[in-house]
Amino acid sequence: MPAAFQNVLGLALKVRGWNQVEAARHLGVSQALVSAYLHGEREPLLSTAAQISGVLGVSLDEMAGLSAGKSAVAWQANLKRRWHREAASRSELAAALRIVFCEDSTAVVKWLNEPC
């Protein structure tokens, strides 16, 4: 995996608010291995990368830096920053999310309200 892996992994953990210990628990690897991935000291086996991408909801193409356009993880991080910055438009954004996700936006709004 190219350096994109460590960048996408770091951003995905930040978006979820996970530290290395929490990430290790969710991903089923050691904290030392998470640290090594984040610092570019180790690269995951394909099977491990697939497991990590499944847990994080990020495609293997995104994890490898092969996807075209903006990654879903970057989009999520940007959305969360905008939510915190633009408090006045939260009800409009929540309504748009309800339409996009075709569901009650309560869980999405809860996620957005967590610190970046």
Q: 56 and 80 in one domain?
A: no
pLDDT, residue 26, reads: 92
| Cβ neighbours around 52 below 10 Å, total | 24
Do residues 21 and 52 both lie within one domain?
yes
Q: What is the pLDDT of residue 55?
A: 87
Most confident of 42-46, 54-58, 93-97, 104-108: 42-46
- pLDDT of residue 86 exceeding 70, the answer is no
Instruction: Enter the tokens of residue 33.
Output: 């291995």
For residue 14, what are the contacts with CB-CB under 8 A and spacing of at least 6?
Answer: 77, 116
Q: Taking the complete model, does pTM exceed 0.75, yes or no?
A: no
* pLDDT for the residue 21: 96
Whether residues 18 and 55 share a domain: the answer is yes
Domain C-terminal end among 30, 47, 64: 64
Same domain, 26 and 55: yes
What does DSSP assign to residue 88? G
Res 38: pLDDT: 92
**Mean pLDDT of the region 81-109:** 62
Asked if residue 77 and residue 37 are part of one domain, the reply reads: no
Report the share of the chain in percent with pLDDT over 90.
Answer: 19
Count how many domains the chain has.
Answer: 2
Residues 58 and 12 in one domain: yes
Could you tell me the pLDDT band of residue 7, with boundaries at 50, 70 and 90?
A: confident
> pLDDT tens digits, residue range 15-53?
788 899 999 999 999 999 999 999 999 989 888 888 898
CA atoms of 18 and 106, how far apart (whole Å): 21
- Burial string for 88-107 (b: 16+ CB within 10 Å, else e) reads eeeeebeeebeeeeeeebee
78 and 105 co-located in one domain: yes
